[in-house]
Amino acid sequence: MRGVVSAPQPLAVEAGADVLRRGGNAVDAALACAFMQGVVDPQMCGLGGGGVMLVHDALQGKTIELAFYAPAPLAATADMFQQLIVERVRWGGWRLRNRENEIGYRSICVPTFVKAADVAARRFGTRPWADLLAPAIEVAAAGAPVYHHVHDRWLRPTAGFADSIERHAATPAAERLYMTGGRMLATGERMPTDDLARTLRRLAEHGARDFYEGEIARAIVADMQRHGGLISETDLRECAATERSPLWGRYRDLRIAAPAPPGGGLALLLALALLEPWVTSATRHNGIDHAHRVAECLKLGLAVWKARSGDPHFVTEDPAALLRPAFVDGLRSLISDESALTMAEVGARLVPDSRDTTQVCVIDEQGNAVAMTHTLGLGSGVVTDGLGFMYNNAMMLFDPNPGQPNSIAPGRMRQHATASSLAFSGDAPVLAIGAPGGHGIISGVAQTISNLVDFDMSPVEAVSAPRLHCEGDTIEMEARFLRAVAQGLQARGHPVNHSVYSYDYTSGRPHLARRSRDGAQLDGAADPRGGGMAVVV
């Protein structure tokens, strides 16, 4: 076996698997997969986005985090949106007049994906740069098909945010790419992605530097200047993909590396640490007691992460201190089996998030491992004529009020609920896992890890089992939870939203690659909520 690749897009998984077959390693496969994701799932990720990648280099025995979150432009100011606030929306987010933080040129943060791909390929890859882009170029040149899960997400509303028609009509180039006759393209139709193919060919020929200092950069900056965007030549030239140490925690006998702030590793590791002593061999999976405890642990993990972490250049509290036993035990003491803990009791200030991003997980035969989350947020609706890709709208996910852990500042990265994680038995990686899904990433990944470890589920069972999400006071439960469980939770004081969807998006869509502890077997799984697959090569 050469390796295993898992992601929400079949064509992207195929691209990564083909790289493994040709002798590439886990990083090569992950990058080929990621470039393809930007072609076939263009609102989730792409050249206009950012994210985070965890990499384990088996030869060096080293695990690193490559953080490439899209920073606010240098022209951004803390109060730039404060006078435009209309109302708070779901999860405590903010809607502004004219949706300036969500749609259009002022919603865009500096795209960092291409820079990160270049750094990862140079540091850890083995294949030529052009080879990693070739599969994406081929599909883009033919016109990328609209897959069912892409169309489904276009049509599912995200409460408090613009619908797809409003978003994609924001610029003529976006409308031409994704709409026809005033409607979104239908499943099976092809997006006219020839401009994107040309951009990818230019990157393959001239390298990533062209995106930040060359012809592509000049086209980006000229478009921003014409339309009131904030991104400058300096923003593109100086943005970075930063290699650093991940945040470390444990679950049972596994050591887990997860994204440091502003990523969501703190929320994930806290939720797992809180949950660990409360799941035993006698626990009934998704029974009332189990669901109550999972919800409370998620609620507290997310609350602490939101209130006490952020861009480490601006929020200096040590996240490792918040994972120490004394702090975790103090949090756990707030939880009662008799009644729900309310957010008023912990003083949580919620922040907005989208349900959109995407994931790549790869482990190869040498024991190299990658878990990468990359994103556009919900997408800004902005496409530069001739370039063919959409920019992120990461400004949407800052707090428009100054003085908060997630407030706007020049060069600042907003909070991201990324939970791309690597789990180790001893020094060897046995799991690469992560998810799309906004703050639901945390709940999905935490429950999937527990399903694997505590309930001995297979990877497919672990990602497919019914899940809940709890952020704030309300528990969001899929339709497959028994009504008796929902009623039991309500009796303990939980507001419950029992979904009409059997496979809902509220708890993220985890994907994973797994390696047996002896290294002899590889397998993986793709969440059925996401439309993807896992392939062992």
The residues assigned a catalytic role are: 357
As a 3-state breakdown, the chain gives helix, strand, coil percent values, each rounded to 5, of 40, 20, 40
Q: What is the DSSP string of 227-288?
A: HT----HHHHHH---EEE--EEEEETTEEEEEPPTTSSHHHHHHHHHHHGGG--TT--TTSH
Locate all alpha helices (DSSP H) within 101-190, ordered by sequence. Answer: 113-124, 129-142, 148-155, 164-168, 172-178
CB atoms within 10 A of CB 427: 11
Say if CB 286 and CB 507 are below 8 A apart: no
- Residue 470: which residues within 8 A CB-CB, separation 6 or more? 294, 295, 296, 298, 299, 443, 476, 494
* The one-letter amino acid at 181: G
Q: Cα–Cα distance between 412 and 72 in angstroms, integer?
A: 5
Say if CB 390 and CB 46 are below 8 A apart: yes
352: tokens are 């907005």
Q: Cα–Cα distance between 537 and 534 in angstroms, integer?
A: 10
Give the single-character DSSP code of 409.
-
- 194-206 and 129-142 are packed helices; what angle lies between their axes, rounded to 10 degrees? 170
How would you classify residue 234: left for phi > 0, otherwise alpha for psi between -120 and 50, otherwise beta?
alpha
Q: Cα–Cα distance between 45 and 200 in angstroms, integer?
A: 15
